[in-house]
Amino acid sequence: MLGFFCLEGNAALVGECEGTPIDAVKELPNPLSEWGVIACTPYGHIISNKEGWIWSNPGGYSPVMIPSQMVRSNPEALGNKSYFKEISLKELRGEAAASAIEVFRTGFDKSPEEPRVYSVKVVSVSGKELGFQFFEFGDHHWGMWCNKKCNPDSRFMILNMDKKPNK
């Protein structure tokens, strides 16, 4: 998906971003910025994979992105009129992290490795909000949609395509 985007100088945004409002969030917080970017599209700003990474649903290539125009279908060609006004990230610890990990691992074999867990909230210019959790298992990363409640069926992989496999 990012193949047609180009970086605009030193700006964090990618794509056709001319005319982006001054109050638009233009950079992702760390560590999300290591795997993702904010991209400008004809349908508004989205959070998507950084070049060299793939965000995909398990079981086949099915790209994942987080839209600022939060509609279920038929997005309008709003361009830079749809953007993120807030993107917040906090690392979960203790009971909150343990609870998130338990939901995430539903249906998976239990790994002894404990991930770092981040809770992310995005707010669009329309005032709508979406929630996510991201899991960092060393070199392995996952995301999960978490609006009112986290759903393990919404998990997606975040793959570093530039990393050489261990031999």
pLDDT single digits (tens) 1-32: 332 333 333 346 787 788 899 999 999 999 99
Distances (CA, A) of 23 to 92, 126, 159: 27, 13, 31
What predicted TM-score, i.e. pTM, was given to this entire model?
0.86
> Per-domain residue ranges for the chain?
32-160
pLDDT single digits (tens) 96-111: 999 999 999 998 877 7
Give CA angle at 43 (25, 59), nearest 5°: 95
The structure tokens 């978490």 sit at 146
